[in-house]
Structure 1
Amino acid sequence: MYKDAHQGFDTLAIHAGQEPDPATGAVVPPIYQVSTYKQDGIGGLRGGYEYSRSANPTRTSLEVCLAELEGGVRGLAFASGLAAEDAVLRALCRPGDHVIIPGDAYGGTYRLFAKVAEPWGLAYDPVPLGEIDAVRAAVRPNTKIIWVETPTNPLLGIADIAVLATIAHEAGALLVVDNTFASPYLQRPLALGADIVVHSTTKYIGGHSDVVGGALRAADAEVGERLAFHQNAMGAVAGPFDAWLTLRGVKTLGVRMDRHCSNAAAVVDMLTRHQAVRQVLYPGLPEHPGHGVAAKQMRGFGGMVSFRTGSEDAAVRVCEATKLFILGESLGGVESLIEHPGRMTHASAAGSPLEVPADLVRLSVGIEDADDLLRDLERALAAA
């Protein structure tokens, strides 16, 4: 592919790793639905392919594209976001090591640390990552990773990636950033000093609620090789059709994120003025404690909005009363979703230090007509 150093995000999203097929001229990478490959003699691999767990041309296209979008040296595609997270822990940590995680981490991430990694011997501490002194105080001699979500799920907390990268590197640790909520269109953690970026590509990158996947991008080649070894050894790779669907979603990521952001801003404006809403959590609000950092490190404030109703019953009623906002888990698709985190995505954190407020409602604002979304929410809030 023709390439220069000044290509923009949308150009890379459409072209990086996606050269026309040399045999047919097809402008979309084919789905190589294949498990094995003919070798030209023992050890004579065609293009490095021998078995699709190790590498597949469709997955390679996705991995190259994602690495280009994040500015990384190595991209890896997995069967899910949690499979990608687990690969980081297995590749880079050992029993007896320590990790700092967000004080309001995603429930699935918390479950991975509390129910899988901790019994394996990995210690962790939840820390409010917006409080820099608390992060410094939590670092131990055996801290190997500071694990960041920004914005966080579901409280929309913001962490200063550049500052946390400095703290991690001074301690000889790595900074891992879950960039799922922002997407590489709105935020590029590797450029701010992060060592690894993780995504649930199920969300904004895929963008159509039709495929589950995960991805890692590494800033360092040696770290990338360690992650790639575990990807192959553990085998939780993205299948070729899943990789193809995700790559199709990547092409429109920029234009979709612009619409997600503008629709979310309209929703936030309405919610902040509604008498049934006690508090709106959105980094685009000037009163949000992370607003200044978000404005500095993000292109836009995203499509995720959370708000509090004052009571759990009211939150549940709102979630059950919407029509356009579909009651469901996940996020980042073209359709708008609503959920009650305490009973749904973050139920695994109940009773822990990461338990979310019972009156919290989380919105994934889609790309429908904004006026229709506002009317739907206003009706639901009136019913609450």
Structure 2
Amino acid sequence: MVKIGIYVASTQSGSAFLADLVDQGHDVYGYFRGTSDHAQEVMERIRGQGGVYLERPNEIGLGSRFVDIREDQIGSDPKRLVDDCDMIVFPLPAIYQEESVHRLKDVGLTHKKRPVILAPGRSFPSPYLWRILGEGYPIVSFSTCPYSCKSPEPGRSLIKRRKRNWIGSWEGIFDGEDKKMIMNIWPQVLWTSLPGATTLNNIGAIFHPGPYILAWDEIETERDGENISYYMDLIANRPEVGRTIEGIDQMRLGIAVRIGLKTFGYSENPRENEWERTMEGLRREETLLHDNPNKLRITRASHLGDLSDAVISAQHWLDYTYGVRRKPNEPLHKAIERTPTYQNRSVPQGRYWREDIPVSLLPLVNLAQRLDIPNSDGMRILDDFKEKAGIDPNGMQGARNLEEFDDDYLVRYLKGELCW
């Protein structure tokens, strides 16, 4: 049986991966850092109660339940990830990806060549990780975390919603067996060999830094925003914020157009008719399979396969990810307002700037500047952040300002044209 390693299983998404994959019958090893008090507390709670309480209130046909986890399925030995597992999932903030692969390299990762699954990779992950692991090391980058999830307390995982589908890019050199193994674990993924489809479809760059920074003083006053509904209060109810993040959205679509990638929702060529034809056929299938979520995810992946090589607008992303039907010319803040999962109260989180400024917005704005693509809305957010937080984005942990790479390398990376 294929064994899946999780580095680290104490994060919100790490706990969700651990519980969900074990519940599906997969063999898993969840790694908990021995130097982290929080990680050790979570691991000991799971051991003490013999598993994880998995809550899934919005899953059709899948109720909440207790998931049994054997004692040998969790631990604090990183070498077990490398020696015993066939692939390693990294469900941790992208700012920690480089230091994490450094740790696993020290225990033999580059010798074993275990595929690395970044969940998610955010923007331009592989060029930075290849500097550590070697050019062409096999890396999968997910465009988003598969789960909308929380950890209410140690030993509990709340999966509010699984993403219906998301894009996964093959980055580096994979053999056929490794690809087959990974695709069998996640059949709902839209697979592509274009890293640009995940780097440029990094929706966190659109939804996270801008609204947070524009409401910085308000969030600070409200004790980290605990009384604020992030998506409703800071985006849906503020058209001016919606316009700003739409500008950032068009910036990343502009990058895709400039380098020759297909787009949906770009202002000069939105391709609305093509989008509607694709989604209409899918909606017919969804009506027939509404009570079979597992088969529906696979059917959706088949219907949406052509989108795997495209860069799509935030509104189109809401359509295929959450089923919020696209309305041509609808402002983004109105589409957010119609999104059920965002109507549930979600408070602002520090990771929206700690992670998504240095590894999402910063590299996209910098590349747009280098390619002479309009980027004033993105630059405004970076400048406001520097003024309000007193932090230079280029000096943040894990910052990907792309200075290490020339334009030709970056474009060939995005188009999947690098050769080793």
Please state which structure has a larger fraction of its residues in helix.
Answer: 2
TM-score greater than 0.5 by the shorter chain: no
In the superposition, the TM-score normalised over structure 1's length comes to 0.37
